[in-house]
Amino acid sequence: MPASLAARLGHTFRDPHLLLQALTHRSYHYEHSAESSGHNERLEFLGDAVLDLVLSEWLMRSFPDTQEGTLSKWRASLVNEQTLSEVAKTLELNSTVRLGKSEEFTRDALRPRLLASVFEALIAAVYLDGGLAAAQKLIEPLFAKRIEGLSSTLEYAADFKTRLQEVTQGQFQGTVPEYKLTAADGPEHAKTFTSQVWLKQKQIGEGRGTSRKSAEQAAAQVALAQSEQWLEKQKGGV
């Protein structure tokens, strides 16, 4: 592990292979399968959960009088791909992630999804190596200013999924939207995803994006834009 990265992380790995796996994109793994011990997608899955846990507990502790709906909006704004990719850049993960040839040529302008995934995998690696306290030690300095800047007066307009869920729960007494991935087109390094959002067995929106999450956000945005029309129709069928 480069000394500079160790300093930025504030964590010395007992098992360096965890860090190496966290920094290995699947494009590199497939091109160097003989030497690679694995890529970071399973770690990304765990890191996402650890990040949610740490931030959720932090938000509840910091804002004891704030309602769950607001806390959910704040957490969503902290863990979206754009925010996580910006945090990844502060750690210079864009220069340390191991990429295959199909991704290497985009290193100077890596997709937010890829950077966010590397960061989440890194959180998981630290968690597995040093436990929850080590993960908190990594996460908290990186998000401190963002959490200090939170305010109940802020609107997170980009979080269309949360807004749509609030609207539908209010109208249909607990019924929540469901998202279906319907397509993933294009080469591995530049896929486009298509997602549909359904409510009460009816499709209410469709969107496309460079990741599954962004496609779901786009679908929710479409549904919100048409909300007055389809909500009245749905309400009449209840």
Cα→Cα distances 95→4, 31, 32, 179, 191, Å = 12, 19, 19, 34, 22
Distance in angstroms (rounded) separating the CA atoms of residues 26 and 47: 17
H/E element, 52: helix 41-62
Q: What is the DSSP letter of 98?
A: B
Q: Which of 44, 48, 103, 216 is catalytic?
A: 48
41 is catalytic: no
Out of 103, 120, 159, 216, pick the active-site residue.
Answer: 120
Our answer to whether residue 120 is catalytic in this structure is yes
DSSP letter at 202? E
CA distance from start to end of the chain:
59
**Residues contacting 66, CB < 8 A, separation 6+:** 59, 152
Q: Helix (H) and strand (E) counts for the chain?
A: 13, 3
- Dihedral angle sign, alpha carbons of residues 106, 6, 133, 71: negative
CA-to-CA separations, 186 to 101, 182, 183, in angstroms, rounded: 17, 14, 10
**Residues that are catalytic:** 48, 120
